[in-house]
Amino acid sequence: MDRAEKKELVAELNGVFKATSVVVVAHYSGLTVAQLETLRKQIRNAGASVQVAKNRLAKIALEGTDVASIGPLLKGPTLIAYSDDPIAAPKVCAAFAKDHDKLVILGGAMGATPLNAEGVKALATMPSLDELRAKIVGLVNAPATKVAQLANAPAAKLARVFGAYANRDAA
């Protein structure tokens, strides 16, 4: 890799570190090429990205970014997973690490907040942004659905209910 390629890689990584909301750092030593490709595919499907870069170049790219706290984690064969959705990258990495003990999550950062390995795993257990949106829409729609069902109830059912209350009071 010549000097120009290194500068281009550092600039690209710096842009990634400034733009993403979450970064996960993990050791991948011992994973086969097929396993790494499976991880890349799963991360890509989740809307996240993964990159293996020289630690020295990644540390240079971290300068001046919110996620600069991950610098000390960059030792040995590390990969960097990142995403705009704060849950996507940690969720895929934690699930993959559960099945493959060779992938060791070291930590990461969410914005300016540094995360240890347990923090990344805790973040992975949270529902994704899309899941939260679906829950909110469901909660908002639920009362409207109940009102619509009540308004559409046949008058006969209401008359029977009122009749039952009248008979109960009369007895």
Query: Can you state the percent helix, strand and coil of the chain, rounding each to 5?
Result: 60, 15, 25
What are the tens digits of pLDDT across the range 71-118?
Answer: 899 998 999 999 888 888 899 999 999 999 899 999 999 888 888 989
pLDDT band at 170 (very low <50, low <70, confident <90, very high): low
124-144: per-residue pLDDT in tens? 888 877 778 888 888 777 776
**What are the DSSP calls for 7-46, one per residue?**
HHHHHHHHHHHHH-SEEEEEE-TT--HHHHHHHHHHHHHT
Confidence of residue 158 (pLDDT cuts 50, 70, 90): low
Beta-strand runs (E) in the chain? 22-27, 49-51, 78-83, 104-110, 113-116
- β partners of residue 53: none
For residue 38, pLDDT over 70 is answered with yes
CA distance 161 to 167: 10
All domains in the chain, ordered by first residue: 3-124 (3.30.70.1730), 129-170 (no CATH)
How many Cα atoms sit within 13 Å of 28 on the Cβ side?
Answer: 23
pLDDT score of 42: 94
Among the residue ranges 36-40, 80-84, 124-128, 153-157, the one predicted with the least confidence is 153-157
Q: Tell me the C-alpha distance between 111 and 141, whole Å.
A: 33
Please give the mean pLDDT across all residues of the chain.
85
Closest CA to 103 of 83, 124, 130, 131: 124
In contact, 27 and 77? CB cutoff 8 Å: yes
Tokens representing 99 are 């099945």
User: What distances in angstroms separate CA 128 from CA 53, 58, 142, one per listed residue?
Assistant: 27, 27, 21
100: DSSP letter = -
